[in-house]
Chain A
Amino acid sequence: MTPVDGSTLSTVAVVMVAYLGVLLFIGWRAAKRTHGGEDFHLAGRSLGAWSAGISSTASSESGWVTLGAVGMTFNYGVSGLWYAPGCLLGYLVNVYILAPRLRPLSANQGSVTLTDVITRRWGDPRNVLRLTATTIILVCMMGYVAAQMTAAGKAFSSSLGFEGRSGYILGVVIGAVVIILVTSLGGFRAVAWTDLFQGLLVAIALIALPLYAIAHLGGFGALIENLGAIDPNFLSAGGGRIGPALWGFIIGQLGIGLGYPGMPHVITRYMAARDDRQVQRLQVIAMFWGVAVFYGAGLIGLAGRVMLPNLADGEQALMAIALQLVHPVLAGLLLAAVISAILSTVSSQLLVAASAVSYDVVEETLGKASDDRRSLILGRWTVAVVGLLGILVALSEVRLVFWFVLFAWSGLGAAFAPLILLALMRRGVNRHGALAAMLTGTGVTVAWKLGRDAATSPEIFARVWWMALLAAVAIFVIGRLTRAFDWGDHVAVAAAASLTVISWWLVQLWGLDNLYELVPAFFLAGFAALAVSAVTKDDKPASE
């Protein structure tokens, strides 16, 4: 990017400090209304339509929407927009199918987390489902939190003019400390309220900036003319791709939407809605937010391509336009919007990771801290500890963690989305089927991704066999030693291991390496749930 002058940076810094001050103020207000465990983990099921709706959407998008989505259209033109219908179809499923069923179910069950919904739906006498779900959530969420903290650190340091390694560390620490404070003090309520504030900031920025940019270019017609002059393929829905590459790209982009019903930090918002009326109202709010934000980001990428043709990294188009073309105060607000998209996701994921430890493991599995006040204190300390761990991982930049992040969206989506939809819409699935779905979703996601990568790195071939075999043996051994598994659980593990290896073969044999791993993993996990439930159908579901 072109260097930015000092006075612009000072103005941007003032706006940033004010923005962080608002977050802390909201956290303090929420903390005053947080008195017990259910308050901390689920805001006492008191959210209105606006906070539940915007919080669910803002926490699902992360920095991807202000950076990655912008980069998609910057790099690929109109064809880069295929993510928008994919994500919006995911929103449709979440707000029209899942939310109206999940809120009353979780209220009747008294469930607090996604794991709670699953275990109470099918019964979990030896905590097999709870510990499996918690492990998947923790692995995916911790990687996600650390990666988002890294992104926040980079965004802070570049917008505040911090330089070098020390500037990056300062950026990570500022963003993380504010979020840890807000989340640990105010819990779910603080996260939902700050999400509402940040989500509105993101929406305003992504509506206003493309309008400004298109007007600056001389109108929509001029934008199209200029894009066509750069590359005529920018004006087609296929972007010049043909055959399997085209269909793999389109199905993969649409497939992103399959993950939404499985995101614990998103769907707990629906569980926290005050009543069915709020769920009905949040449908419109969430859909409008989605359309505005996805298409706003796409238009910024298209305009950025014309306005800043020499920009090396398309993902920086929003920040570059903000710093170079608008008034410094507006630039500060736009950069705050970029960071908002990141921090709203960090806080939500941090809370989910902390709830997995403090509620699912310590309270429910180990049976500790059953009274409300101790549950609140435990929740607060867990957020602080998990958050500090996130900072350490972000600063150490452990490569393995960032490797896991590649699977976080698809892993969570495949493990939980088909399962939660089956839980809400279909009888006949039992707890063994639920276990099979979670293991298959996770296993197939990893195997398919490795299968795709094997096209360029042939040595990956042997590893998948060993990983699947070792994982299955390890799960069997743990099940034996703890005497937690019955025969149906063994069937579930065997089915998941087999489908994982078969899926890897499918990538190789059919040359499906263009297909995003979430698509096969989602459908195979759903298939595993139904097939294993049919084989072990003598075990009746615990609750309907």
Chain B
Amino acid sequence: MEEYSLTLGAHLLLWVFPLVLVVLVIVEDLLDRFKSGSER
């Protein structure tokens, strides 16, 4: 039976992009909290 797999572009589109985005959002939020904490 022939084996199928995602192409590189499909990997990027399907899971790499959302994963990177979620990590960046979390990092940005943590930096914000850290900044507002140190301002207090």
Are A235 and B18 in contact, CB atoms less than 8 angstroms apart?
no
Known contacts being A225-B3, A232-B4, A288-B22, is A82 close to B29, with CB within 8 Å? Answer: no
Known contacts being A237-B13, A283-B29, is A84 close to B7, with CB within 8 Å? Answer: no
CA–CA, A238 and B6, complex, Å:
12
CA–CA, A200 and B31, complex, Å:
27
Are A291 and B22 in contact, CB atoms less than 8 angstroms apart?
yes
Are A81 and B14 in contact, CB atoms less than 8 angstroms apart?
yes
Q: At the interface, yes or no: A287 with Cβ under 8 Å from chain B?
A: yes
Known contacts being A283-B29, A287-B22, A287-B25, is A224 close to B6, with CB within 8 Å? Answer: yes
Are A235 and B26 in contact, CB atoms less than 8 angstroms apart?
no
CB nearest neighbor in A for B15 = A295
CA–CA, A96 and B29, complex, Å:
11
Are A78 and B10 in contact, CB atoms less than 8 angstroms apart?
yes
Q: At the interface, yes or no: A88 with Cβ under 8 Å from chain B?
A: yes
CA–CA, A280 and B36, complex, Å:
11
Question: Which of A84, A235, A237, A287 is within 8 Å of B5, CB to CB?
Answer: A235
CB nearest neighbor in A for B32 = A280
Q: Say what secondary structure dominates the interface of chain A.
A: helix
Known contacts being A287-B22, A288-B25, is A227 close to B4, with CB within 8 Å? Answer: yes
Known contacts being A78-B14, A82-B13, is A229 close to B22, with CB within 8 Å? Answer: no
CA–CA, A287 and B26, complex, Å:
10
Question: Which of B3, B6, B29 is within 8 Å of A78, CB to CB?
Answer: B6
* Chain B hits for A84, CB < 8 A: 13, 17-18
Q: Mark A203-218, 1 if CB is under 8 A from B, else 0.
A: 0000000000000000
Q: Mark B1-37, 1 if CB is under 8 A from A, else 0.
A: 0111111011011100110011001101100100000
* Chain B hits for A85, CB < 8 A: 13, 17
* Chain A hits for B9, CB < 8 A: 236-238
* Chain A hits for B3, CB < 8 A: 225
* Chain B hits for A79, CB < 8 A: 10, 13
Nearest-Cβ distance from residue A49 to partner chain B, whole angstroms: 11
* Chain B hits for A82, CB < 8 A: 13
CB nearest neighbor in B for A221 = B5
Lowest 4 A-B CB distances belong to which pairs? A228-B4, A237-B9, A236-B7, A78-B10
Extra pairs beyond A225-B4, A227-B4, A298-B14 (16, CB < 8 Å) = A78-B6, A79-B10, A81-B13, A81-B14, A84-B18, A85-B17, A88-B18, A228-B2, A235-B5, A236-B7, A236-B10, A237-B7, A280-B32, A284-B25, A287-B22, A291-B21
16 contacts between A and B (CB under 8 A): A78-B6, A78-B10, A78-B13, A79-B10, A84-B18, A96-B28, A224-B4, A225-B4, A228-B4, A235-B7, A236-B7, A237-B10, A237-B13, A284-B29, A287-B25, A295-B18
Residue ranges of B at the interface with A (Cβ–Cβ < 8 Å):
2-7, 9-10, 12-14, 17-18, 21-22, 25-26, 28-29, 32
Residue ranges of A at the interface with B (Cβ–Cβ < 8 Å):
78-79, 81-82, 84-85, 88, 96, 224-225, 227-229, 232, 235-238, 280, 283-284, 287-288, 291, 295, 298
